[in-house]
Amino acid sequence: MIAEILCVGTELLLGDIVNTNAAFIAKELAFAGIKSFWQSVVGDNSKRLLESFNLALSRADVVITSGGLGPTYDDLTKETAAKCLGLKLELRPDLLENLRKIFARMGREMSPNNEKQALMPEGAHVFENLRGTAPGLAVTKNGKSIVMLPGPPRELEPMFSGQVLPWLAQMAGLGTLVSHGVNIFGLGESAVEDRLKHMMENYSNPTLAPYAKTGEVLVRVTASAGAPEEAEKLIAPVLEEIKSRLDGYVYGIDAGSLQNALVNALKEKKLKIAAAESCTGGIISGRITEVPGASEVFGCGLCAYSNEMKSKLLGVNPGTLEKFGAVSAQTAIEMAQGVRELSGADISISTSGIAGPGGGTTEKPVGLVYIGYCTEKNYGALELHLGRGYADDRNLIRYLAASEALALALKLLRLE
């Protein structure tokens, strides 16, 4: 089965919104093993939309659209698709009734315009919209299908994952799909690919697909089978194989993010963490507290930029600052020790580095970062070089330094 994505909306052509729908649908299709060779965007114009449908149907088995299902005169997707396939539109009393219920629930009056959303091409398969008024739909004729979805991502995304993908998988004879994500930190995308090359090239069920995120790699493992349990059985040994090939670099399965994995590990062990930040300037605290329920495990975060604050707040010895400098392993360690003591946390992490663009020297260039840590039994520091030589590396260096600190804390927790 070959699919093609066609997004409809003048706001996309004007660049008022970024087309996250195309990326979302594309990723879901790739995950299901459905091929897609083109994506297009067209405005709210029936002539150009019809041209787009004709072209897309000449290249693909299924055309998936987003947008243009609203109640106003410039919402044209359903009408144009019906015209393209030579199908009549009919009013569906069940959908009209459902629309009335939605409006009643919101306490708003339904305008006559909204009745348009209960019109469907004859024979349409309807996808329920759990977060809006526009139902999705699919129509099939002569072996070609058009799937039409509402534009707002919060409506489209659950509809696609929950209803459209199973429908497509069935159409394509793919059975039930199950997928798990392996979270990897500390190894670049090409190194991950090298180590998993054999699996990626030779395994067909489950399949493996790597995705690079800033400083991280996610490997998605997807199996199809008659039932979810069978798919899980196919996936389990592959997850184990990935873990063993990637050694200590796997930090979780479906873990979401480093901060999520860290907060969960702390909760499990009933331990608290604290952070003393210089170059990351609050990002570590911000990422930890992004996780709901972080308050259970987060002692405190201190962001001390100046030498004065490092001594006053964190008790860093002025002699250490003078002898080794603020950007040094020694200072990072004393920062971690200081915040651990102050907060009474079990484990602490710290950062001190040169994020740039100014402040670098030959000895201590932009990108040099020390990550300090301290536990009951142990303390130390990592030296990292995170610069890439660009003028605007600052935020990348800060983000990666925070990721390194979170990953280090997670490792310490698992060792202790």
Task: Give CA–CA dist 204/73, Å, rounded.
Answer: 46
Q: Could you please report the per-residue DSSP string of 326-395?
A: SSSHHHHHHHHHHHHHHHT-SEEEEEEE--SSS---SSS-TTEEEEEEE-SS-EEEEEEE---S-TT-HH
C-beta of residue 66 within 8 angstroms of C-beta of residue 19: no
Which C-beta is closer to a second copy: that of 38 or that of 379? 38
Which C-beta is closer to a second copy: that of 171 or that of 212? 212
The phi and psi torsions of 298 (rounded to 5 degrees) equal -105, 115
**Least distance in angstroms from the C-beta of 45 to a second copy:** 8
**Least distance in angstroms from the C-beta of 192 to a second copy:** 14
Which C-beta is closer to a second copy: that of 81 or that of 274? 274
**Least distance in angstroms from the C-beta of 14 to a second copy:** 5
Whether the bond between 357 and the residue before it is cis, its omega within 30 degrees of 0, is yes
Which C-beta is closer to a second copy: that of 191 or that of 218? 218
Q: Which long-range contacts (CB under 8 A, 24 or more apart) does 160-166 make?
A: 160/24, 160/25, 160/28, 161/28, 163/127, 163/128, 163/136, 164/64, 164/127, 164/136, 164/138, 165/28, 165/32
**Least distance in angstroms from the C-beta of 139 to a second copy:** 24
Which C-beta is closer to a second copy: that of 86 or that of 358? 358
Q: What is each CA distance from 169 to 24, 139, 296, 306, 401, in whole angstroms?
A: 17, 16, 42, 58, 41
C-beta of residue 345 within 8 angstroms of C-beta of residue 272: yes
**Least distance in angstroms from the C-beta of 72 to a second copy:** 12
Which C-beta is closer to a second copy: that of 124 or that of 304? 304
**Least distance in angstroms from the C-beta of 293 to a second copy:** 7
**Least distance in angstroms from the C-beta of 25 to a second copy:** 7
Which C-beta is closer to a second copy: that of 315 or that of 380? 315
C-beta of residue 41 within 8 angstroms of C-beta of residue 13: yes
Task: Give CA–CA dist 148/8, Å, rounded.
Answer: 10
